[in-house]
Amino acid sequence: MKILSIQSAVAYGHVGNSAAVFPLQRIGVEVMPVYTVNFSNHTGYGAWRGPMIDPDDVRDVVAGIEDRGVFPQIDVVLSGYQGGDGIADVILDTVARVKEANPAAIYACDPVMGNAKSGCFVAPAIPALLRDRVVPAADIITPNQFELGFLTETEPSDLDSTLASADAARAMGPRTVLVTSVERPDRAEGTIEMLAVTDDGAWIVQTPHIPMKANGSGDVTAALFTAHHRRTGDAADALARTTSSVFDLLERTHASGERELQLIESQDAYANPRLQFEVTQVR
């Protein structure tokens, strides 16, 4: 499998492509990373150095890949956090060109906007851009519960309303929706869930909630779920594998006391997930 991943990059730590590429490689995926920024570290530190890459330069890198004649071999275009509105045009154009070269290719979009605790943390134009132009072009989206609500102008909370919101998102274009950070009012205390919804059904998985802010964990989740689902077409299996890998990554990171994901130290969790959590079909 080959994935063209258009995301940010950092030298120190793990977010964007610096979080997604290695886990994908560890499960046998050939990744072509295209950077949208090249920062010293993620912006959560409040200070960073390095350039945001001009959209025309990003487009040029993609064009160089196309020149090598590999677009027909690309199975997935993957995108995450979009720092400015110009990059969306590059991503959407890339998706169109890849799909023209390989009609079986898919586009997976992690519509990064914010979360329930912090609210929106992207530029003001980004949420509407994602909702109106980017998400409708996607085959897979991986919003958290907060982002799902914004995209669909709904308020997902319990299982039924979250399923309804996922269906509303699917009506916009993408056939597969992975909802992360699902926090149902009636869930067991100290737990958190993920929900996958496709044409074939819906599945939920519950894990203990690890009390930490883990920048980059959503990027790992989106990458692994997309790759597993593209490989097998089995959403329940992709959900089980992704959940197992990401939980073990977070657990190791929390135990280390470090702020950054222990991405390399957790590599066996990607290649050989323990599958320790039960996935339940809810529709």
Give 117-124's long-range contacts (Cβ < 8 A, gap of 24+): 120/150, 122/81, 122/82, 122/83, 123/83, 123/84, 123/85
Among all chains, which residue has been given the structure tokens 């308020």?
A: 155
221 pLDDT exceeds 80? yes
Contact between 196 and 203 under an 8 Å Cβ cutoff? The reply is yes
Extract the tokens encoding 120: 């929106």
Q: Please give the mean pLDDT across all residues of the chain.
A: 95
201-220: per-residue pLDDT in tens? 999 999 999 999 899 999 99
224 pLDDT exceeds 80? yes
151 pLDDT exceeds 70? yes
Confidence band, pLDDT 50/70/90 cuts, at residue 147: very high
Extract the tokens encoding 251: 């657990």
Distance in angstroms (rounded) separating the CA atoms of residues 85 and 249? 32
15-58: per-residue pLDDT in tens? 999 999 999 999 999 999 999 999 999 999 999 999 999 999 99
Among all chains, which residue has been given the structure tokens 């102008």?
A: 153
126 pLDDT exceeds 90? no
Name the residue among 210, 196, 198 with its Cα closest to residue 246: 210
52-84: per-residue pLDDT in tens? 999 999 999 999 999 999 999 999 999 998 877
